[in-house]
DNA sequence: CATAATCGCGTACGACGTACCCAGTGGAGG
DNA sequence: CCTCCACTGGGTACGTCGTACGCGATTATG
């Protein structure tokens, strides 16, 4: 009550002033967690396993991080650091948002297990903040801030929603320890049952089409993204107009 | 290996032919799980807790469900059953999709904890299939099936992405056992620190604006949804045209 | 009526996050 | 210089989780 009771993980100093020098570091621990999660999934990144990865005892991690949840918050921000938004806003909002969306998707595909960490309250980590500044900066010159938030919700909703679907199948497979062919073997009877019942014509159509989809996932994503950006463009006050009746930045 | 080895939860019959009559049922167990999750969050719905809720022993549940993961799959489909898509497709695709989106959001708000169950491989549950038929049926007359999938990805991406954000803050709060004011108390120093640093002008703008947002979350959602539907409309072959050059349903 | 399948469920195991404790260490105050 | 004590790493232990296994009781089928 009266003592420290730290508050936000980003406000808790990594190392106090006094005492012996710490052997490890938050960055090292976070990196180990990412490495394990990449290789074996996030649920394999237990405190004991992470500690072992860096050659520490399990309880030593708690000298650096107050709980596993806080460690995951660190990991999440570390992942956001992989998203390259250097030079944004560039003045070309469409190019900026395209790059951002592409970077986010690439990061998710590199670390599919973030699909399993439910987006939490804003963590206020440095990388998250950098993203906010750079990416929302792209539209900041064109719309007021609440409009900007609304449009970004559409964009990030689309990006995260679609890539989550791409990624969580793979995650689910790995988690269940099934190979893709094993999963198909298990699901096929059910699919066949549904198709043969004749009650699900659209589902059947999807199954039939699945064999010969002519667009790769990359192309599908880019195609949908273009549409979403068109949608955002339509909501922007036309830059070609002589004057905007709703000046965004007074 | 040689014996049953059931495959998909929906293909495993609830009750075999022989033996004594079961005391409970999948539906009863699923309902109990939903009840507990609504009241105390999904992580409180442990096997022991669910069993206690219906007055059974912990291990009895495994007579009905092969694992907790499968039970969650049952729960997920049960939630999809709450989404009312009766009478779809009605012929007015925009009305259908609006209703669907609104229903999905309402369901998420009733059961915020579904944000924590990562969307898995298609479970092929009856309610999920009903949704596919009804909702994708809305556009089926207008576009080929792969286009339909792409457009639905945009819609569901937006809906789930935005409502996930609405909901996961509340979930995170409950999970951490903090009240909203406690959370604010913990975060405020960090927010203040960031604002005062002067390095985050857009973040600062958001914080400032937060006090007087003039649109309710409902209105924000509807507003964004209209934009997404406009975006879908733009991708549809114009119904007013004399003939479509790409006949969707041969 | 005998048989075997299925019932509910008690016990037990190996994992998890982490509270608590203790011995060792090294910078600050004398 | 020595002394102190805030800090270090980490071992042990607790409560909880999902669930494997096996028991006696029950009941549809031969």
> How much is the pLDDT for A121?
64
Cα–Cα distance, A41 to B18 (Å, whole number)? 41
* Number of residues in chain B: 250
Residue A250 lies in a domain: no
Count of CB pairs separated by less than 8 Å, A with B = 183
Domain boundary among B80, B99, B115: B80
Structural domain total, chain B: 2
Cα atoms in the 13 Å half-sphere on the side-chain side of A42: 20
SS3 A175: helix
Q: Which nucleotides of C are covered by protein (CB under 7 A)?
A: 4-12, 15-20, 24-28
Cα atoms in the 13 Å half-sphere on the side-chain side of A238: 4
B137 interfaces chain A, CB cutoff of 8 Å: yes
List CB contacts (< 8 A) between A160 and chain B: 157, 161
Shared domain for B161 and B197, answered yes or no, is: yes
Cα–Cα distance, B235 to B233 (Å, whole number)? 5
Using a 10 angstrom Cβ sphere, with 0-12 exposed, 13-18 middle and 19 or more buried, the burial of residue B163 is: buried
Count the neighbouring beta carbons within 10 Å of the beta carbon of residue B83.
Answer: 20
Shared domain for B57 and B165, answered yes or no, is: no
Of the candidates A224, A108, A107, A225, the one whose C-alpha atom is nearest the C-alpha of residue A166 is: A108
Domain boundary among A80, A105, A120: A80
Shared domain for A62 and A111, answered yes or no, is: no
pLDDT in tens, B49-93: 999 999 999 999 999 999 999 999 999 999 999 999 999 999 999
Q: Report residue A21 as tokens.
A: 């020098």
Domain boundary among B80, B99, B129: B80
Question: What CATH code is carried by the domain that includes residue B60?
Answer: 1.10.10.60
pLDDT in tens, B116-135: 887 666 788 999 999 999 99
Name the one residue in this structure whose structure tokens are 């094993």.
A182
Are A228 and B230 an interchain contact pair (Cβ–Cβ within 8 Å)? no
Residue B250 lies in a domain: no
Eight-class DSSP state of A78: H
Question: What CATH code is carried by the domain that includes residue B193?
Answer: 1.10.357.10
A19 CA from C24 C1′ (Å): 12
Shared domain for B104 and B228, answered yes or no, is: yes
Q: Is there a contact between A237 and A142 (Cβ–Cβ < 8 Å)?
A: yes
Q: Is the CB of A63 under 7 A from strand D?
A: yes
Shared domain for A57 and A93, answered yes or no, is: no
Q: Is there a contact between B163 and B105 (Cβ–Cβ < 8 Å)?
A: yes
Shared domain for B173 and B120, answered yes or no, is: yes
**Residues 6+ positions from B73 with CB-CB distance below 8 Å:** B9, B120, B123, B125
Shared domain for A167 and A94, answered yes or no, is: yes
Shared domain for A171 and A99, answered yes or no, is: yes
Q: Is there a contact between B37 and B151 (Cβ–Cβ < 8 Å)?
A: no
Cα–Cα distance, B132 to B135 (Å, whole number)? 6
Residue A177 lies in a domain: yes
Q: Closest residue to C8 by CA to C1' distance?
A: B60
Residue B152 lies in a domain: yes
Q: Is there a contact between B74 and B9 (Cβ–Cβ < 8 Å)?
A: yes
> How much is the pLDDT for B20?
81
Rg of chain A on CA atoms, in Å: 23
Count the neighbouring beta carbons within 10 Å of the beta carbon of residue B79.
Answer: 20
Reported as type and span, the H/E element at residue A152 is: helix A145-176
pLDDT in tens, A33-82: 999 999 999 999 999 999 999 999 999 999 999 999 999 999 999 999 99
> How much is the pLDDT for B2?
30
List CB contacts (< 8 A) between B129 and chain A: 194, 200, 203
Residue B199 lies in a domain: yes
Q: Report residue A165 as tokens.
A: 């679907």
Per-residue pLDDT of chain A (250 residues; tens, 9 = 90+): 333 355 688 888 777 667 678 899 999 999 999 999 999 999 999 999 999 999 999 999 999 999 999 999 999 999 999 999 999 999 999 999 999 999 999 999 999 999 888 766 678 899 999 999 999 999 999 999 989 999 999 999 899 988 988 887 777 777 777 777 777 777 788 888 899 999 999 999 998 887 776 678 899 999 999 999 999 999 998 754 444 444 455 4
Residue B43 lies in a domain: yes
Range of the domain at A46: 1-80
Cα of B62 vs its chain's centroid, Å = 26
């Amino acid at each position: 009550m009266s003592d420290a009771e730290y508050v936000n993980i980003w406000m808790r100093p990594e190392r106090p002033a006094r005492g012996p020098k710490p052997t490890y570091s938050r960055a090292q621990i976070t990196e180990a967690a990412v490495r394990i999660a990449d290789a074996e999934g996030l649920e394999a990144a237990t405190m004991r396993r992470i500690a072992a990865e860096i050659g520490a005892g399990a309880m030593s991690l708690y000298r650096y991080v107050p709980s596993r949840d806080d460690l995951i918050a660190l990991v999440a921000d570390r992942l956001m650091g992989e998203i390259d938004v250097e030079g944004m806003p560039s003045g070309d909002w469409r190019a900026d948002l395209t790059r951002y969306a592409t970077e986010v998707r690439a990061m998710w595909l590199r670390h599919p297990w973030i699909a399993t960490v439910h987006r939490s309250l804003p963590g206020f980590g440095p990388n998250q903040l950098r993203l906010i500044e750079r990416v929302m900066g792209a539209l900041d010159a064109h719309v007021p801030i609440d409009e900007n938030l609304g449009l970004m919700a559409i964009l990030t909703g689309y990006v995260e929603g679609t890539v989550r679907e791409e990624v969580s199948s793979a995650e689910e497979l790995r988690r269940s320890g099934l190979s893709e062919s094993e999963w198909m073997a298990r699901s096929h009877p059910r699919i066949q049952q549904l198709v043969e019942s004749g009650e699900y014509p659209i589902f059947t159509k999807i199954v039939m089409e699945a064999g010969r989809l002519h667009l790769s996932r990359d192309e599908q994503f880019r195609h949908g993204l273009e549409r979403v950006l068109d949608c955002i463009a339509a909501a922007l006050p036309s830059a070609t107009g002589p004057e905007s009746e709703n000046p965004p930045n007074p």
